Copies of this chain bind each other. A is one copy, B any other.
Amino acid sequence: MKALVYDGPRKVSVHDVADPRIERPTDALVRITTTNICGSDLHMYEGRTTVEIGKVLGHENLGEVIEVGDAVVRVKVGDRVCLPFNIACGFCRNCERGETGFCLTTNPGFAGAAYGYAGMGPYSGGQAELLRVPFADFNCLRLPEDAVEKEDDYVMLSDIFPTGWHATRLADLRPGESVVIFGAGPVGLMAAYSAIIQGAKQVMVVDRHPDRLRLAEQIGAIAIDDSKLDPALRVKELTKGCLADKGCECVGWQAHDPDGHEHPNVTMNRLVACVRATGSIGTVGVFVRRDPKSPDPLMKEGRIAFDFGAFFEKGLRVGTGQANVKRYNRELRDLIHHGRAKPSFIVSHRLRLEDAPHAYQHFDAREDGWTKVVLKPAA
């Protein structure tokens, strides 16, 4: 089959690789019809991770089941399914509690597995024609009769919609509260969209890319351009001095200033400044244990210079980590099905799989208008 393969820093190509097949009786095989490029794919693309050369990338996948193992009882051939980016067993201690992003058995020695991702186990990605799905009855989200019609909405259930939603849940956002979100990339925009769906009174989004800030305003959020304003002052002003009730971090360790210099602690410390005493922060932007290529000496060892004194004095809380997609994907699917959510507003480009290398290049450059790329391997 054809697949998008990592060839080294800033090099990816589409070529033939061996077809995946049913390996265990609990597996399913899915023909991919839509698969996205994720902002976190760029960490690998840029060579900032340990991902091995030859890996097929892609963890935002949707398609049609074409074969199932003997032990699969719920999922049927022909089902349209969306796959959570986390691969989970369903029976370990973490999966049982709904912490499927931290499965203890699918990636032995680590808590959590994913398709086509650095450090997340030996699983191939879905920027390809076919995908093997382990523990299919647990991991496949079956889609309703409008699966094809709303495919670009449903594919967002694989990662960014639940991840944005997770940011608001980690922040314990409640209806009628205000929230400030750092980052208006796909995940930040989904966090803003989630906050609006949940009844937030004010959703403030901090970024500096005009196309992203426009999308934020388009869904009803308040855009704050941090290349022009101090976001903490602006949040204070917008909240009449009360500060934001809650905050979300949707940028991660490669946060940088308008001049491109990386400051891995800037978003967290700004959140401490922007959120009111007793508030909470949800962090879904990725931070890593070590990054020898980071220009920040602390970050080389996975550390940030964190304003913990102010954090404590204000009695703040922070929750972190990759989203447990399965905790949210059923309800979010139903919101899409009933017309109450339409996350495809974020899609800027619909391309063939063959166009993926080109798309990586533009998306990595954060070119204006390259908000979200969906690939159609079956097209």
Instruction: List residues of A whose CB falls within 8 A of some B CB.
Output: 24-26, 69-71, 73-74, 89-94, 96-99, 101-102, 105, 111-112, 137-138, 170, 174-177, 197-199, 201-202, 253, 264-265, 268, 276-278, 283, 286-291, 298-299, 302-322, 326, 328, 330-332, 334-335, 337-338, 340
CB within 8 Å for A99 and B331 given contacts A138-B90, A197-B175: no
Task: Please name the residue on chain B nearest to A176 by beta carbon.
Answer: B331
Q: When chains A and B are docked, how far (Å) is the Cα of A122 from the Cα of B33? A: 40
CB within 8 Å for A268 and B308 given contacts A26-B71, A91-B90, A111-B314: yes
Q: When chains A and B are docked, how far (Å) is the Cα of A304 from the Cα of B277? A: 19
A331 & B201 in contact (Cβ 8 Å cutoff)? yes
B316 & A288 in contact (Cβ 8 Å cutoff)? no
A331 & B98 in contact (Cβ 8 Å cutoff)? no
CB within 8 Å for A201 and B338 given contacts A278-B111, A312-B287: yes
A316 & B311 in contact (Cβ 8 Å cutoff)? no
B287 & A176 in contact (Cβ 8 Å cutoff)? no
A25 & B71 in contact (Cβ 8 Å cutoff)? yes
Determine chain A's interface SS by DSSP, over half rule.
loop
B289 & A309 in contact (Cβ 8 Å cutoff)? yes
Q: When chains A and B are docked, how far (Å) is the Cα of A309 from the Cα of B326? A: 24
Question: Can you pick out 15 interface pairs between chain A and chain B where the beta carbons lie within 8 Å of each other?
Answer: A26-B26, A90-B91, A90-B137, A90-B138, A176-B332, A177-B331, A198-B199, A253-B309, A283-B312, A289-B309, A290-B309, A303-B307, A303-B308, A306-B308, A317-B317
Task: Please name the residue on chain B nearest to A249 by beta carbon.
Answer: B312
Question: Which B residues are in CB contact (< 8 Å) with A338?
Answer: 201-202
Question: Which B residues are in CB contact (< 8 Å) with A93?
Answer: 330
Centre residue among A70, A277, A338 by max chain B CB count within 10 A: A277
B309 & A306 in contact (Cβ 8 Å cutoff)? no
CB within 8 Å for A317 and B316 given contacts A97-B278, A307-B302: no
A316 & B309 in contact (Cβ 8 Å cutoff)? no
Partner of A320, one of B98, B138, B317: B317
Q: When chains A and B are docked, how far (Å) is the Cα of A198 from the Cα of B97? A: 20
Task: Please name the residue on chain B nearest to A177 by beta carbon.
Answer: B331
Q: When chains A and B are docked, how far (Å) is the Cα of A46 from the Cα of B96? A: 36
Centre residue among A24, A101, A105, A137 by max chain B CB count within 10 A: A137
Partner of A96, one of B71, B265, B326: B326
Question: Which B residues are in CB contact (< 8 Å) with A313?
Answer: 287-289, 321
Q: When chains A and B are docked, how far (Å) is the Cα of A96 from the Cα of B70? A: 22
Shortest CB distance A114–B (Å) = 13
Shortest CB distance A235–B (Å) = 15
